[in-house]
Amino acid sequence: MVMFALAMLAFAKNTDQFVQYFDLFFVLVVAHNGLALTLGYAGAALVGLPVADRRAIALEVGIQNGALALVIIFTFFPNASGMLLIAAFWGVWHLVSGLALSFIWSRQSINRRPGAAANQI
């Protein structure tokens, strides 16, 4: 809830810049998030972790703390409206992408090895 309140405050104070530069920071934020999710999953796969652990690590790496970024920017860089907008959109996008990916993965079964216990997925 705090994330959305901070994001709405950043958007409300900088609506003109949000509209003007949306296409630029949308691409950057989505690319950053996609790369982080992919690297998290691929890194976990490279070390041989099971699928459930790969998914968890991908989400941990891919979803960053946008609320913390906004608090830091509001505190130390209150006039940096560009930074506020990017961090606000970044935080909201990570929540959306993380929830969407979690929903998709929750609908897919995890292939367990024969005889593996449920807690060893």
Average pLDDT, the chain: 83
pTM of the model: 0.73
Residue 120: name the closest of 40, 41, 51 by CA.
51
> Could you read off the pLDDT of 61-73 as tens digits, one per residue?
888 777 778 788 8
pLDDT for 117 equals 52
How far from 66 is each of 28, 51, 117, CA to CA, in Å? 15, 27, 36
Q: Is the predicted pLDDT of residue 34 greater than 90, yes or no?
A: yes
pLDDT for 47 equals 97
Terminal Cα-to-Cα distance of the chain (whole angstroms): 32
Q: Where are the domains of the chain?
A: 2-105
